[in-house]
Amino acid sequence: MSRFDDIYPLFPEYDMYAQSVELIKEPNVFKARTPFGSYICKRTSAPQAKLHFVGGILRHLQQRGWDGAVPFTYTKYDEPFLLRGNRLYYVTPWYASVDKNAIPPFAWSKPTIERLAELHHLTQNYRFDDPKHVEPLLTSLTDRWQMWLDHMQHNSSIAQSRPYPSPFDVVFLANHAFIHDAATRAIESLKQWGERQRYNTHFRLSVIHGYPHPAHVLLDRMGKARLVNFDRAAFDTPARDLTLFFRAFFHLGGEEEQAYELLQAYQSVFPLRQDEMALLVTFLQYPERVMRDIEGYYNQKYDWNELQAVKRLEKDIDRLYNVQRFSEQLLK
């Protein structure tokens, strides 16, 4: 029995057949060779409604001539995905990409942020322009930030109560005041921002990628980018995508000076309004990666040994300082 027995039967639904299949990214991304070219097949946990939404958006943008993303290949029944049992799959054309290890560091960053700007520009208020749509987004985010802060406080009590603190405990407690202050200021800033926008009838929402990361960008030899993996796409403020982009950029060792240049490249395509810049600053100030590290360690969510956990926390705190310095300069 082949490990790809669930992949081969999918392609007749596209009026094709797979001549060969290979796994290209554990455990859910496959490449299939067909008489009509090569395709990527992904087994996804994204809900069906999300795939319909993303498929429709990417098809619409492709029809408008935008080539900044890899669109879904639709089945012969005009569906953007296939359901087999309790598993969902979608297929996209395969495009060759340069090896990111063979190009200068951060060569991916400028083409990526330009594509994000194009996506946000082309889809702004794609569905409607309703300020009430913003309120649940802010409420859910505020609640989640507060929950993480409450959990962090509980975990700090655990660390303080131990007669023999672990190395992770020591690093966490040494930086507790900084992390707590950053989270508290961001939560209060988000609440104040929401109050200021309560009666704003022209708030911009766009389709956001949801996970802008070099792993989700294809670069051709001319340096042009195509975005892939829209499993976390949503209709949200563009500031969310920018936050995720800059967190990934700094996490990978990016420098502040280059970050300013990247933001300028974005704004040359899709200029941010003052209220959107303020929201971006607020998003960047919240120590989300550090909160996830703390939550993961004390709840034993990940298979980390002590050294891995400490190194991860130290690195993310160090990167947080860089992000904080960058964000504090944006409103000056």
User: What pLDDT does residue 310 have?
Assistant: 97
Mean pLDDT score of the chain = 93
For domain 102-329, the CATH superfamily is Aminoglycoside phosphotransferase (APH), C-terminal lobe (3.90.1200.10)
**Helical (H) or strand (E) element with 88:** strand 87-93
Is the Cβ–Cβ distance between 286 and 182 less than 8 Å? yes
User: What pLDDT does residue 37 have?
Assistant: 96
Place of tokens 């590290």: 293
User: What pLDDT does residue 73 have?
Assistant: 97
Average pLDDT over residues 86-108: 90
Does residue 78 or residue 133 have the better pLDDT? Answer: 78
CA distances from 58 to 55, 73, 254 (A): 5, 10, 30
User: What pLDDT does residue 102 have?
Assistant: 79
User: What pLDDT does residue 3 have?
Assistant: 75
pLDDT band for 247, please (50, 70, 90 cuts). very high
The CA R_g of the chain, rounded to the nearest whole Å, is: 22
pLDDT band for 105, please (50, 70, 90 cuts). confident
Is the Cβ–Cβ distance between 176 and 168 less than 8 Å? no
User: What pLDDT does residue 126 have?
Assistant: 58
Average pLDDT over residues 3-31: 94
- pLDDT(128) > 70: no
Nearest Cα residue to 279 out of 249, 234, 246, 240: 240
Region of residue 144 (left: phi > 0; alpha: psi -120 to 50; beta: else): alpha
* CA–CA separation, 153 and 173 (whole Å): 10
Strand-pairing partners, residue 25, are: 29
Does residue 194 or residue 127 have the better pLDDT? Answer: 194
Nearest Cα residue to 287 out of 184, 192, 212, 210: 184
Average pLDDT over residues 138-157: 96
288-298 and 176-196 helices, crossing angle to 10°: 130
- pLDDT(20) > 60: yes
User: What pLDDT does residue 130 have?
Assistant: 55
pLDDT band for 138, please (50, 70, 90 cuts). confident
- Domain ranges, ordered by start, for the chain: 8-94, 102-329
Average pLDDT over residues 190-200: 85
Nearest Cα residue to 238 out of 226, 246, 228, 249: 246
Is the Cβ–Cβ distance between 81 and 193 less than 8 Å? no
User: What pLDDT does residue 180 have?
Assistant: 98
For domain 8-94, the CATH superfamily is Phosphorylase Kinase; domain 1 (3.30.200.20)
Does residue 132 or residue 88 have the better pLDDT? Answer: 88
- pLDDT(269) > 90: yes
User: What pLDDT does residue 148 have?
Assistant: 97
* CA–CA separation, 290 and 110 (whole Å): 26
CA distances from 273 to 41, 124, 137, 206 (A): 39, 13, 19, 14
Mean pLDDT check: name the lowest of 118-127, 244-253, 277-286, 296-305: 118-127
Average pLDDT over residues 111-120: 98
Average pLDDT over residues 172-200: 93
* CA–CA separation, 223 and 107 (whole Å): 8
pLDDT-above-70 percentage for the chain: 96
Does residue 136 or residue 245 have the better pLDDT? Answer: 245
* CA–CA separation, 16 and 33 (whole Å): 10
> What b-and-e string marks burial along 10-19, b requiring 16 or more CB atoms within 10 Å of the CB?
bbebbebebe
Peptide bond into 105 cis (omega under 30): no
pTM, 2 dp: 0.94
